[in-house]
Amino acid sequence: MERLLDWTFVVGHMNYWLFIVLMMTGLFIVVARGNLVKKIIGLNIFQAAVFMLYISIGKVTGGTAPIYPVDMQGHMQVDPSIIYSNPLPHVLILTAIVVGIATTSLALALTIRIREAYDTIEEDDILKIERHMAAEDNKEHGAAMGGRA
């Protein structure tokens, strides 16, 4: 009888399962939490999951670094029997880490400014304050237009 689940396949692809768990955890935190700092942490968890996916894709079993030997005349001696790893995913992740740090610091700076302006970092409270301010603006605008006519 054939087994329905091949555990060697499941364990062999553990990094992809961890990617799914981390990605869904980060997405849940972003969607379910109203605190802006918690949302930023959720985005960072989501981002780390994507990094893990790209690094997993870039791994080549039995692959070596793509450094080609050069002969005395400066010509590359590429041996087609050697398996080389692709360096592009790793380079992209290094760039994404730098961009992620910059966007995280910007988000935290904006959160500080929101806290100074609204005295809260809870999304629901900020939306209530915004609705209240919009209602006051509409009331003032209506009174100004009514007084002129």
Q: What is the pTM of this model?
A: 0.77
Question: What would you measure as the largest C-alpha separation in the chain, in angstroms?
Answer: 90
The pLDDT assigned to 49 comes to 95
Q: How many CB atoms lie within 10 A of CB 47?
A: 19
Domain boundaries, the chain: 7-60+85-148
Which CATH number is 7-60+85-148 given?
1.10.287.3510
Q: What is the pLDDT of residue 148?
A: 57
Residue 147's pLDDT band, with cuts at 50, 70 and 90, is: low
The residue-averaged pLDDT of 107-128 equals 96
* Confidence band, pLDDT 50/70/90 cuts, at residue 94: very high
The pLDDT of residue 55 is above 90: no
Angle between helices 88-118 and 123-148 (to 10 degrees): 60
Return the higher-pLDDT residue of 74 and 105: 105
pLDDT at 2 (0 to 100): 59
